[in-house]
Amino acid sequence: MTRDPDPDRSSQGGSTRWSFPLGRVLGIEIRVHVSFFLLVALFVFASTGPEGQGLVSGLSWLVVLFACVVVHELAHCVVGQARGAVVRDIVLLPIGGMSRLERLPSRPEDEFAMAAAGPLASVVLGVGAGVVAGAVGMALLPIDLVTGSLLARLCWVNLLLAAFNLLPAFPLDGGRMFRAALARHHGEAFATSRAATVGRIVAVVMIAAGFLVDVWLVIIGMFVYFAATAEERATLQHLRLRGVHVRDLMHAPVDGAPVAASAPTRVLDADDEVEEDLPALVGAPGGVLPVADHAIIVGELRAVDVADWLRICAEAERGHAA
């Protein structure tokens, strides 16, 4: 699973504070979120129970399982980097992995290839494990992800990982492939909104099914629902502010006031892109920051003006879609 660039850099920083680095693979930092230890505790509890497979075996299987998740995410990153994406890092969560990006590939077909690379890597791992299992005489059926042979479990868990990620539930890989396909003919904004809507519908079905099958499916469905909404907001904001500079939205221009040597607040450059300065603007007193051009104050940027711009863009998109 990949995560789109988020205009709110502070939220990314918050995610980083709640995770710690595990190392680098192919130059990409692997981080572990603190919530991951809830899964470790669950595996310890299950492994040491009456029907458990033993602590060492249980934790070893967890390591192998998430090694497969890392391979899945690295496939996204490697293909994405080759097609223009800028990868921030990979974060391991209790429900899987997430590749965080600074920039997506610019063409829909490149985003499609990047999204498809993860499930394809999982299929290769699963088929490979199955072939080796068959060659050494290990049975693949019945499917048993708890007490089956290691090769059989590797086969099925990777095939299930690929199948799950191919669900058309944005921001899962299948949802991103769906968005990329739509974007080729309908534009990124429409494609993102439609993919997020489908993602929320699939998430609701997952939650309902989870109450009948497994509570873990409820948790994953809730994550998909809220992630679809959050990424839709962030992606649409990114698209609406792309190429918009501070001077385009600044308010109440004034003439000739020099920038003070010790300005009490941050002073924005008129040629900055609004998206880059949005976190500082939101955190500024009153949501207002002065704007300078060649060290001369020429106006101010207000958060309310940015919000109005985003609203106008959203209304124009709705009108175009209608």
Query: What local confidence, expressed as pLDDT, does residue 10 receive?
Result: 36
Query: What local confidence, expressed as pLDDT, does residue 286 receive?
Result: 83
Query: What local confidence, expressed as pLDDT, does residue 113 receive?
Result: 95
Res 50 pLDDT > 70:
no
Residues pairing with 288 in the sheet = 302
Res 101 pLDDT > 80:
yes
Query: What local confidence, expressed as pLDDT, does residue 117 receive?
Result: 95
Reported as a pLDDT band with limits 50, 70 and 90, residue 252 is low
Query: What local confidence, expressed as pLDDT, does residue 263 receive?
Result: 54
105: Cα separation from own chain's centroid: 14
Q: Among the CATH numbers 3.90.1530, 2.40.160, 3.40.50, 3.90.1280, which is that of 246-321?
A: 3.90.1280
Over residues 77-100, the pLDDT tens digits come to: 999 999 988 888 999 888 788 888
Count CB atoms within 10 A of the CB of residue 152.
Answer: 21
CA distance 139 to 142: 8
What is the reported pTM?
0.79
Over residues 223-237, the pLDDT tens digits come to: 899 999 998 998 888
Mean pLDDT of 97-124: 90
CA distance 245 to 234: 18
Is residue 73 part of the annotated active site? The answer reads yes
Reported as a pLDDT band with limits 50, 70 and 90, residue 13 is very low
- Token pair in block for residue 285: 């007193």
Res 197 pLDDT > 50:
yes
Q: Are 195 and 179 in contact (CB under 8 A)?
A: yes
Q: CA separation (Å) from 39 to 60, 65, 297?
A: 13, 12, 53
What length does the chain have? 322
Count CB atoms within 10 A of the CB of residue 38.
Answer: 12
**Which string of b and e fits 246-258 if b means at least 16 CB within 10 Å?**
bbebbeeeeeeee
Over residues 267-316, the pLDDT tens digits come to: 888 899 998 888 888 888 888 888 888 888 888 888 988 999 999 888 88
Res 192 pLDDT > 60:
yes
Q: Are 222 and 203 in contact (CB under 8 A)?
A: yes
Which residues, 6+ apart, have CB-to-CB distance to 191 below 8 Å? 108, 179, 180, 181, 182, 183
Mean pLDDT of 251-278: 71
Query: What are the extents of the domains in the chain?
Result: 1-166, 168-242, 246-321
- The residue annotated as part of the active site, out of 73, 188, 232, 300, is 73
Res 60 pLDDT > 80:
yes
Taking alpha carbons only, the member of 1, 277, 233 closest to residue 114 is 1
Res 155 pLDDT > 80:
yes
CA atoms within 13 A on the CB side of 96: 28
CA distance 68 to 97: 10
Residues pairing with 19 in the sheet = 33
Res 135 pLDDT > 80:
yes
- 66 vs 54, more confident: 66
Mean pLDDT of 6-18: 48
